[in-house]
Structure 1
Amino acid sequence: MRVVYTGGEGEITEKKSHFIATVKPVQSEEEAVAFINETKKKYWDARHNCSAFVIGERQELTRCSDDGEPAQTAGRPMLDVLLREKITDVAVVVTRYFGGVLLGTGGLVRAYQAATQAGLAASRLIEKCKGQQLLVHTDYNGLGKLQYLFGQKHTVILDTAYEADVTMIILVPAEQKEILPKEIIELTNGSAGLEWGKTCVYALIDKEVVFF
């Protein structure tokens, strides 16, 4: 899942109208609605506070509002940006201070989409991944081979315990759950012991693993 880790605020100006896009991560419709209402209060003197939000692993819950702009010229174009970028669990409010020049239907669509993109650009986006921890028990002869394999596959090593043998805890992405254990067994000629741990949702942020 592609989500917003930290929200941001982006601005554009189009024919004297000023657009402010405020982006925030949300987990529920109630949270999204509260954020939209809060932003409307903040920018109470603006002509429009249009909004869109997407929630759910498969982007299954979507809502949008034109807030007084001509139908389909604000909220829906904003929502289309979020869907196209495959972002979920996010809400966006684009505030418009009218500059006295009409933009026309096409101009409004382009302006609200550009503002939404500016808001996303000012935010931090991350990829949430599903995975499972795997405990790998090996002797010291197999350690170097496994370290090389994990380096090649960019496998995250969460912990390593050096005792009579070596125990490594690695993070296996869901898409590697079938193939990686087989590669470990092959590489160590069947001598490595494998024990599945807990499943998790995680992201790599600044090369550090963050669990959700």
Structure 2
Amino acid sequence: MEQKDTYNTILSPSEETLFKDRNSKFFGYAFPVTTEEEVKEHIDALKKQHYQARHWCYAYVLGKEYEQYRANDDGEPSNSAGAPIYGQLQSFDVTNVLVVVVRYFGGTKLGVGGLINAYRTGAQLALENARIVKKTIDIPFSVQFEYPLLNKAMRLINDHKVTIIEQKMEMDCVFHLAIRRKESEKVIEAFNEVYGINLLKDE
């Protein structure tokens, strides 16, 4: 199986969306996040903004490999809120994203089926309203060489579309670089083959 080297995410929060069912209101939000701390900050902010709401249900996925996720029903019946929201994150195939659906109770119980549909729709609207972008998973590496080899190194960097993260150009040059995972072995080998360009172990 080919190793995945791209992931989908959003770069900015979505506009607020609203779904109504039998007088209950479900406000949907999608936020770009990379840590659980950021997740908590967004939820705390929404609790202040919607202090009269009844439930702030959410799900998130973190990590370029989609490795960390959580769903929270926040007092709704088990799996009636967090799970359908998480299902939409999977459906849209996004990571480093938090989706929160805030519910104002309208006086009529919706039943578990109604809740699942409402939270799923709330999450779907939030994600449809967000701009999803594809990013590559990049492998970092560093090279060191004497200044006279700079042209050779730059040619390799340009030919292979390597990203320069940081560079120190003195008599002894050090470049911190990144290359898309799929290309990494081939490109690192190309640098390795040039006499005088040394690969450094990334800390």
The 8 Å contact of residues 29 and 100 in structure 2, kept in 1 or not, is answered as yes
Contact 1:49 1:67 in 2 (8 A): yes
Match for residue 172 of structure 2?
none
Instruction: Give distance in 2, aligned partners of 1:97 and 1:110.
Output: 15
Provide the identity percentage: 30
Q: Which of 21, 24, 39 does residue 28 from structure 2 map onto?
A: 21
More strand by share: 1
Query: 1:64-103, aligned counterparts within 5 Å?
Result: 64-103=71-110
Q: Which runs of 5+ in 2 are unaligned?
A: 1-6, 142-158, 164-176, 190-196
Alignment root-mean-square deviation, CA: 4.2
Asked if 2 retains the 8 angstrom alpha-carbon contact of 1:77 and 1:112, the reply is yes
* Secondary structure at 2:76 match in 1: coil
Equivalent residues of 2:61, 2:94 under 8 A apart:
yes
What letter is aligned with 1:3? T
C-alpha distance in 2, partners of 1:3/1:128?
Answer: 11
CA distance in 2, matches of 1:21, 1:79: 13
Partner amino acid for 1:33?
Answer: K
Task: Pick one of 67, 70, 84 that aligns with 1:63.
Answer: 70
The TM-score, its normalising length taken from structure 2, stands at: 0.64
Aligned-residue offset at 1:155: 9.4
Quote the Cα distance in structure 1 between the aligned partners of 2:101 and 2:124.
Answer: 11
Q: Of 128, 141, 155, which aligns to 1:121?
A: 128
1:1-212 matched pairs, under 5 angstroms: 1-15=7-21, 16-24=23-31, 25-28=33-36, 30-126=37-133, 127-130=135-138, 172-178=179-185
| Residue correspondences, number | 190
Unpaired runs of 5+ residues, structure 1, are: 134-148, 157-169, 183-193, 200-212
Distance 1:173 1:102 in 2: 50
Q: Take 1:76 and 1:55, find their aligned partners in 2: how far apart are those partners?
A: 16
Moved more, 171-180 or 90-99: 171-180
CA contact (8 A) 2:88 2:123 kept: yes
Q: Deviations over 1:139-176 (max 9, x none)?
A: xxxxxxxxxx98xxx999xxxxxxxxxxxxx9853213
Task: Note the C-alpha offset of 1:179.
Answer: 5.7
Report the CA distance between 1:10 and its aligned residue.
3.8
State the one-letter code of the partner of 2:35: Q
Aligned AA for 1:8?
A: S
Determine the C-alpha separation between the residues in 2 that align with 1:195 and 1:132. 15
Partner-residue secondary structure (3-state), 1:113: helix
Quote the Cα distance in structure 2 between the aligned partners of 1:96 and 1:4: 23
